[in-house]
Amino acid sequence: MSASAERAVADSAEFPSAAPRPEPGVVRPYHFPSFQTRILPNGLRVVVAPVHAHPVVTVLAVVEAGATRDPLGKHGLAVLTGRALAEGTVNMSALELAERVETLGTVLDTGADWDSSIVQLTALRERAGDAFAVLAEVLRRPSFPADEMQRLAEERLSDLTQIRADARGLADVALNRLLYASTSRFARLAGGDERSIPTITRDDVVRFHAEHFVPEATALLVVGDCSVEEAVQMATQHLGDWSGTAEPVPAPDASVRFTDCRIHLVAKPDAQQTELRLGHVAVPRAHPDYFPLVVMNAILGGLFSSRLNLNLREKHGYTYGAHSTFDWRRAASPFELSSAVQTDKCADAVREALHEVRRMREEKVSDEELSLAVSYLDGVFPIRFETTAAIAGGLANVEIFRLPSNYFDSYRERVRAVSADDVLRAARTHLDPAKLQIVVVGPPDALQSPLEALGVGPVTVHAPTDELFADD
Amino acid sequence: MQIPVESYRLPNGLLVVLSEDHTAPIVAVNLWYHVGSANERTGRTGFAHLFEHMLFQGSANVGANEHFEFVQRAGGTLNGSTWLDRTNYYETLPSNQLALALWLEADRMGRLLPAMTQPKLDTQRDVVKNERRWSVDNQPYGTWWEKLPALCFPPEHPFHHSLIGSMDDLDAASLEDIAEFFRTYYTPDNAVLTIAGDFPAAEAKRLVEEYFGPIARGRGKPALPDMSVPFSFGGALREVVPDACALPRVFVASRMPVLGTDEYYAASVCSAILGLRTGSRFERSLVRQQRIASSASCFTFDLAKGADLFVADVTALPDVSPERLEAAVHAELDRVQRDGVTDHEVQRAIALTETHFVTSLQSASERADQLSRFATYFGDASLVNEQPARYRAVTAEHVSAFAREYLTAENRATLMYVPIEEPSDADAADVEVAA
């Protein structure tokens, strides 16, 4: 696109001339913070990264107690248990716990996703010991008060009501619902739905905690202004006599619902715009093609200057933004394209998005595109780990996805090793336009005919309440 | 914790702030222009923000979208944002790429207009309209951030009108408007340039001089009108908004003294006591004890001109009427206004603020943005380092005095979102919940 072809609002002569665009200086070395792993006699893994730049310490406990461990019909148990950890311990009521944590100037973050539960806080150095003691108590001795459990269940139902009113929420829920077979845990919301939440009892939560929150299934990450010895000493003092053994995590069912491309139109007649998702189930996080896929995704829809965003936003103005991503899990993970587009351009946006996915498989990316993606991922690496919480998050991924301990040391090298051939091979192997499920949330009258006219697959119209939230 | 700060002005008026920190090989470049939606003229709502989009469309030596491409190719992140009274642009890069970021910012400060064309404006207008649909029109409660200032400031006040703008005004924006706005506001004497992170100061100064030195000082910008308003609405204001949302949500705003005043710090602590985290009053009372709210928070808008706003934001649980929610929020405001707060509540709030301050400043980008903020509003970036002390100086008496004076019934504007009835969906939902 040549800007000079169009008449500009002012001539260059009016303005001072510029120095030429500068070349980069000499790269200063960066190393991901070094860390040590100690395994306590009870099996607890303690991973410590001393980082003394600022007087803060992040403590993050990661437990193999994610939503994939929910028993059949009890969808939402792991997430509810994770949230309920902050509702009190055997020694403190919910409000006493909050009071204790917040008077220490910190915030207790508890929750669960598909593969793990977490308990996390960041405290100033001088309060880190006290904060650690609270975190250990929350991890080991939560009390799950019945009235607070009731309130959390009500709040979850309230969240579901909000999700249903929000086009973005509806689109995300519908896509996950439609990607995976109804036998798969992934087809249901991680946090549970209107059918499952009322069936979860306090006993279920107590049992889930007792079975899965055990030292063998837990990694404790300590990052910040704290030595390895101090961290190990705190862990030994507060968690050394914690006991229990872990059952191995069974491989979840990640089978897909449809094998052909379909369009699912979720009717929201009052919508001012159309939420758009395209996705299919791809590969697990630990797949050997991870690095080619990350580079491929950056080019397709990960960067601002990605094909998808330049096409849908900068070329056509259909949208404020268009992106693609892998929602990484231990099991086969979804690949998704997402955007919110002008309703009268929705069919055009779908056509352009499909065109970009096909193009990734048909021809090699240009040297320019490859070098942009690789140099971005390589260069931005230190910026991703500026804070103790970000470093702890990175180390948590190493634990959850069982990545090699030198993962971050070799990360940049492995990104730089990706070639255009690798990207093409990864796209051909792992992207499949013929399997994409297309979710469109917007006014059905304006959308149905143009989408049908695209001819990419059958169009089904759903009401927002249609089986999308409830069990079959 | 002290952030190093060195400030100086170029002869063309550009205020430069340097903050060296060699912890990681990262550098943040951050520019604040002292212009926002408050400076828009009648019939051009949304223009400051549309203009921000145009700043990513290239300049004399940078092609369309190359700004993004150059920074990302260098391994950097970038963005910009528009607020009521300022607009910022920022990059974080590997430290060996400092010169690139400065060169890019200087090219668009000095030489934007040769790259501005009608097709680019037309496309960005469409992008911004889709941003409006996405962030305001198609989101439950999305209109609150234009309706609340509209309710709290009188129609002629610069904070009254919409920041994202109306579709009609966006349509009316022309290339001539772009040129005029650029020449008036995007001048070195109306900007602060902050560099934070890993760089040698002498080298940074040389680059700043080389790239920004030749840019001419502006002709001066039109003064904003007198923005002072009474710290009272002179009686309760109330607006009910039927919306495509699932649950009622109520905002209650009070006018208060601006950012940087002693009252501001008392207000900030008061907002944390009422509505920050689990131990706050709203959470204890509205969420846990009465069980009428699904979420409840309180915050200040952080406005630096005229008046700031103290805002309570509470969303109902299902089956709780908007009126009941509204009454409960006002009852909490009545209580703090009448009875004040305790030392213990103040200590909790200050402890949370202190940790947040230190943890957020781990990021070079955040350090740079805070330095630019204090330099823009108060002419002194080093005020950042006084923030913990300003908070620690707040006592229960200060907070109680603030609440007594500013959270009165006559100084409350209530904006209440009420779900539009959709019989079929609502019925289906009720059946499922009951099942």
pLDDT digits (tens, 9 = 90+) for B310-342: 999 999 999 999 999 999 999 999 999 999 999
Local confidence band at B274 (pLDDT 50, 70, 90 cut-offs): very high
Does the beta-carbon distance from B179 to A10 stay under 8 Å?
Answer: yes
CA distance B272 to chain A (A): 11
Verify that A325 and A234 share a domain, yes or no.
Answer: no
Q: Which amino acid is at B22?
A: H
Verify that B199 and B261 share a domain, yes or no.
Answer: no
Local confidence band at B153 (pLDDT 50, 70, 90 cut-offs): very high
Chain B contact set for A167 (CB, 8 A): 138-139
Is residue A235 classed as helix, strand or coil in its secondary structure?
Answer: helix
* B218 within domain boundaries: no
Using the predicted structure, report yes or no on whether residue B427 has a pLDDT greater than 50: no
In angstroms, rounded to a whole number, what is the distance separating the alpha carbons of residues A311 and A304? Answer: 11
Provide the β-strand partners of residue B17. Answer: B7, B194
Chain B contact set for A415 (CB, 8 A): none
Domain boundary among A207, A239, A271: A239
Does the beta-carbon distance from A379 to B93 stay under 8 Å?
Answer: yes
* A362 within domain boundaries: yes
The confidence score (pLDDT) of residue B430 equals 36
In angstroms, rounded to a whole number, what is the distance separating the alpha carbons of residues B131 and B233? Answer: 32
Residue B237 DSSP code: E
Q: Which helix (H) or strand (E) holds B413?
A: strand B413-419
Q: Measured between CB atoms, does B99 come within 8 Å of chain A?
A: yes
B26 → closest Cβ in A19, A371, A383: A383
Which residues lie closer than 8 Å to A38 by C-beta, 6 or more apart? A45, A46, A48, A228, A232, A235
Q: Measured between CB atoms, does A362 come within 8 Å of chain B?
A: no
Strands A45-50 and A218-224: parallel
A18 → closest Cβ in B26, B76, B107: B107
In angstroms, rounded to a whole number, what is the distance separating the alpha carbons of residues A361 and A374? Answer: 19
List all residues of chain B from 379 to 418 with a beta carbon under 8 Å from chain A. Answer: none
Does the beta-carbon distance from A102 to B351 stay under 8 Å?
Answer: yes
Is residue A340 classed as helix, strand or coil in its secondary structure?
Answer: strand
Q: Measured between CB atoms, does B361 come within 8 Å of chain A?
A: yes
Q: Average pLDDT in the B352-379 region?
A: 96
A1 → closest Cβ in B23, B24, B64: B64
Chain A contact set for B53 (CB, 8 A): none
Domain boundary among B145, B178, B212: B212
Angle A154-A160-A166 (CA atoms, 0-180°, nearest 5)? 145
Does the beta-carbon distance from A15 to B111 stay under 8 Å?
Answer: yes
Does the beta-carbon distance from B362 to A53 stay under 8 Å?
Answer: yes
Query: Could you read off the pLDDT of A151-168 as tens digits, one per residue?
Result: 999 999 999 999 989 999
Does the beta-carbon distance from A387 to B359 stay under 8 Å?
Answer: yes
* A255 within domain boundaries: no
Query: Could you read off the pLDDT of A97-131 as tens digits, one per residue?
Result: 999 999 999 999 999 999 999 999 999 999 999 99
List all residues of chain B from 331 to 360 with a beta carbon under 8 Å from chain A. Answer: 347-348, 351-352, 354-355, 358-359
Verify that A340 and A415 share a domain, yes or no.
Answer: yes
* A153 within domain boundaries: yes
Which whole-number Å values give the CA distances from B134 to A271, A319, A470, B128, B139, in the listed order?
10, 9, 27, 9, 7
Chain A contact set for B210 (CB, 8 A): 19
Say what percent of chain B tops pLDDT 70: 97
Does the beta-carbon distance from A56 to B354 stay under 8 Å?
Answer: no
Verify that A204 and A353 share a domain, yes or no.
Answer: no
* B94 within domain boundaries: yes
Helix and strand tally (H, E) in chain A? 15, 12
Is residue A376 classed as helix, strand or coil in its secondary structure?
Answer: helix
The confidence score (pLDDT) of residue A10 equals 77
Verify that B108 and B249 share a domain, yes or no.
Answer: no
Q: Are A224 and A57 in contact (CB under 8 A)?
A: yes
Does the beta-carbon distance from A389 to B120 stay under 8 Å?
Answer: no
* B226 within domain boundaries: no
Q: Which helix (H) or strand (E) holds A175?
A: helix A167-179
Verify that B119 and B266 share a domain, yes or no.
Answer: no
Verify that B191 and B313 share a domain, yes or no.
Answer: no
B140 → closest Cβ in A165, A273, A342: A165
pTM above 0.90, yes or no: yes
Verify that A188 and A309 share a domain, yes or no.
Answer: no
The confidence score (pLDDT) of residue B426 equals 39
Q: Which backbone phi and psi does B103 adopt, to 5 degrees?
A: -65, -45
Query: Could you read off the pLDDT of A341-400 as tens digits, one per residue?
Result: 999 999 999 999 999 999 999 999 999 999 999 999 999 999 999 999 999 999 999 999
Q: Measured between CB atoms, does B426 come within 8 Å of chain A?
A: no
Verify that A115 and A209 share a domain, yes or no.
Answer: yes
Provide the β-strand partners of residue A437. Answer: A262, A279
List all residues of chain A from 283 to 312 with a beta carbon under 8 Å from chain B. Answer: 303-305, 310
Tokens of A240: 């050394």
Domain assignment of residue A294, given as a range: 262-386+410-462
Verify that B260 and B204 share a domain, yes or no.
Answer: no
Does the beta-carbon distance from A382 to B25 stay under 8 Å?
Answer: yes
List all residues of chain A from 113 to 152 with a beta carbon under 8 Å from chain B. Answer: 122-124, 151
Length of chain A: 472
Verify that A351 and A299 share a domain, yes or no.
Answer: yes
Does the beta-carbon distance from B277 to A107 stay under 8 Å?
Answer: yes
* CATH code of the domain containing B302: 3.30.830.10
Does the beta-carbon distance from B284 to A18 stay under 8 Å?
Answer: no
Q: Measured between CB atoms, does B14 come within 8 Å of chain A?
A: no
ipTM over 0.85: yes
Q: Are A253 and A185 in contact (CB under 8 A)?
A: yes
Local confidence band at B432 (pLDDT 50, 70, 90 cut-offs): very low
Q: Measured between CB atoms, does B236 come within 8 Å of chain A?
A: no
B73 → closest Cβ in A54, A315, A376: A376
Q: Are A191 and A79 in contact (CB under 8 A)?
A: yes
* A335 within domain boundaries: yes
Does the beta-carbon distance from A10 to B216 stay under 8 Å?
Answer: no
* B99 within domain boundaries: yes
Beta strands in B336-388 (DSSP E): none
Burial of B280 (0-12, 13-18, 19+ CB in 10 A): buried
- For chains A and B, CB pairs below 8 A equal 290
Burial of A468 (0-12, 13-18, 19+ CB in 10 A): buried
Q: Which residues of B286-302 are buried (b: 16+ CB within 10 A; e: fewer)?
A: bbbebbbbbbbbbbbbb
Verify that A439 and A293 share a domain, yes or no.
Answer: yes
In angstroms, rounded to a whole number, what is the distance separating the alpha carbons of residues B290 and A347? Answer: 48
Does the beta-carbon distance from A22 to B277 stay under 8 Å?
Answer: no
Does the beta-carbon distance from A8 to B58 stay under 8 Å?
Answer: no
CA distance A5 to chain B (A): 9
Chain B contact set for A388 (CB, 8 A): 359, 362
Query: Could you read off the pLDDT of A28-45 as tens digits, one per residue?
Result: 999 999 999 999 999 999
In angstroms, rounded to a whole number, what is the distance separating the alpha carbons of residues B143 and A353? Answer: 30
Helix and strand tally (H, E) in chain B? 16, 11
In angstroms, rounded to a whole number, what is the distance separating the alpha carbons of residues B132 and B236? Answer: 30
Q: Are A334 and A326 in contact (CB under 8 A)?
A: yes
C-beta neighbour count of B164 within 10 angstroms: 22
Domain assignment of residue B106, given as a range: 6-212
Local confidence band at A471 (pLDDT 50, 70, 90 cut-offs): very low
Of residues A16 and B7, which shows the higher confidence score? Answer: B7
* B177 within domain boundaries: yes
Using the predicted structure, report yes or no on whether residue A19 has a pLDDT greater than 90: no
Verify that B169 and B246 share a domain, yes or no.
Answer: no
Average of per-residue pLDDT values in chain A:
94
Q: Are A205 and A149 in contact (CB under 8 A)?
A: yes
Q: Which amino acid is at B86?
A: R
Q: Are A224 and A388 in contact (CB under 8 A)?
A: yes
* A225 within domain boundaries: yes
Verify that B287 and B426 share a domain, yes or no.
Answer: yes
Sign of the torsion angle spanned by Cα atoms B342, B345, B349, B354: positive
Q: Measured between CB atoms, does A93 come within 8 Å of chain B?
A: no
In angstroms, rounded to a whole number, what is the distance separating the alpha carbons of residues A127 and B296? Answer: 28
Domain boundary among B212, B246, B275: B212
In angstroms, rounded to a whole number, what is the distance separating the alpha carbons of residues A454 and A432? Answer: 18
* B232 within domain boundaries: no
The confidence score (pLDDT) of residue A174 equals 94
The 3 state secondary structure assigned to chain A is: CCHHHCCECCCHHHCCCCCCCCCCCCCCCCCCCCCEEEECCCCCEEEEEECCCCCEEEEEEEECCCHHHCCCCCCCHHHHHHHHHHHEECCCEHHHHHHHHHHCCCCCEEEECCCCEEEEEEEEHHHHHHHHHHHHHHHHCECCCHHHHHHHHHHHHHHHHHHHHCHHHHHHHHHHHHHECCCCHHHCCCCCCCCCHHHCCHHHHHHHHHHHCCHHHEEEEEEECCCHHHHHHHHHHHHCCCCCCCCCCCCCCCCECCCCCEEEEEECCCCCCEEEEEEEECCCCCCCCHHHHHHHHHHHHHCCCCHHHHHHHHHCCCEEEEEEEECCCCCCCEEEEEEEECHHHHHHHHHHHHHHHHHHHHCCCCHHHHHHHHHHHHHCHHHHHCCHHHHHHHHHHHHHCCCCCCHHHHHHHHHHCCCHHHHHHHHHHHCCHHHCEEEEEECHHHHHHHHHHHCCCCEEEECCCCCCCCCC
The confidence score (pLDDT) of residue A2 equals 36
Average of per-residue pLDDT values in chain B:
95
* A247 within domain boundaries: no
A320 → closest Cβ in B120, B134, B359: B134
Q: Are B89 and B55 in contact (CB under 8 A)?
A: yes
Which residues lie closer than 8 Å to B250 by C-beta, 6 or more apart? B312, B313, B314, B316, B322, B325, B326, B329, B414, B415, B416, B417
Verify that A326 and A225 share a domain, yes or no.
Answer: no
Q: Measured between CB atoms, does B279 come within 8 Å of chain A?
A: yes
Pinpoint the alpha helices (H) of A259-345.
Answer: 290-297, 307-309
Using the predicted structure, report yes or no on whether residue B424 has a pLDDT greater than 90: no
In angstroms, rounded to a whole number, what is the distance separating the alpha carbons of residues A347 and B183? Answer: 41
Does the beta-carbon distance from B247 to A19 stay under 8 Å?
Answer: no
Verify that A206 and A323 share a domain, yes or no.
Answer: no
Verify that A178 and A61 share a domain, yes or no.
Answer: yes
In angstroms, rounded to a whole number, what is the distance separating the alpha carbons of residues B300 and B256? Answer: 9
List all residues of chain B from 57 to 86 with a beta carbon under 8 Å from chain A. Answer: 58, 60-61, 63-65, 68-70, 72-77
The confidence score (pLDDT) of residue A18 equals 81
The confidence score (pLDDT) of residue A11 equals 74
* B180 within domain boundaries: yes
Verify that B351 and B400 share a domain, yes or no.
Answer: yes
Does the beta-carbon distance from A463 to B429 stay under 8 Å?
Answer: no
Say what percent of chain B tops pLDDT 90: 96
List all residues of chain A from 427 to 456 with a beta carbon under 8 Å from chain B. Answer: none
The confidence score (pLDDT) of residue A33 equals 97
Q: Are B336 and B285 in contact (CB under 8 A)?
A: no
Chain A contact set for B429 (CB, 8 A): 161, 164, 465
Q: Measured between CB atoms, does A86 come within 8 Å of chain B?
A: yes
Q: Measured between CB atoms, does A380 come within 8 Å of chain B?
A: yes
The confidence score (pLDDT) of residue B422 equals 61
Domains in chain A, number: 2
Q: Average pLDDT in the A54-83 region?
A: 97
CA distance A452 to chain B (A): 24
Verify that A305 and A414 share a domain, yes or no.
Answer: yes
Verify that B175 and B276 share a domain, yes or no.
Answer: no
Most A CBs within 10 Å: which of B72, B219, B294, as the mutation test of the A interface?
B72
In angstroms, rounded to a whole number, what is the distance separating the alpha carbons of residues A147 and A143? Answer: 11
Verify that A226 and A267 share a domain, yes or no.
Answer: no
Which whole-number Å values give the CA distances from B376 to B88, B160, B209, B304, in the listed order?
11, 22, 20, 10
Verify that B82 and B171 share a domain, yes or no.
Answer: yes
* B221 within domain boundaries: no
Using the predicted structure, report yes or no on whether residue B434 has a pLDDT greater than 70: no
Using the predicted structure, report yes or no on whether residue B423 has a pLDDT greater than 90: no
Query: Could you read off the pLDDT of B179-235 as tens digits, one per residue?
Result: 999 999 999 999 999 999 999 999 999 999 999 999 999 999 999 999 999 999 999
Q: Which helix (H) or strand (E) holds B253?
A: strand B249-256
Which residues lie closer than 8 Å to A136 by C-beta, 6 or more apart? A238, A239
Q: Measured between CB atoms, does B3 come within 8 Å of chain A?
A: no
Q: Measured between CB atoms, does A340 come within 8 Å of chain B?
A: yes
In angstroms, rounded to a whole number, what is the distance separating the alpha carbons of residues B52 and B69? Answer: 17
* A200 within domain boundaries: yes
* CATH code of the domain containing A326: 3.30.830.10
Q: Are B250 and B236 in contact (CB under 8 A)?
A: no
Q: Are B418 and B243 in contact (CB under 8 A)?
A: yes
Is residue B321 classed as helix, strand or coil in its secondary structure?
Answer: coil
Q: Measured between CB atoms, does B210 come within 8 Å of chain A?
A: yes
Domains in chain B, number: 2
The confidence score (pLDDT) of residue A468 equals 58
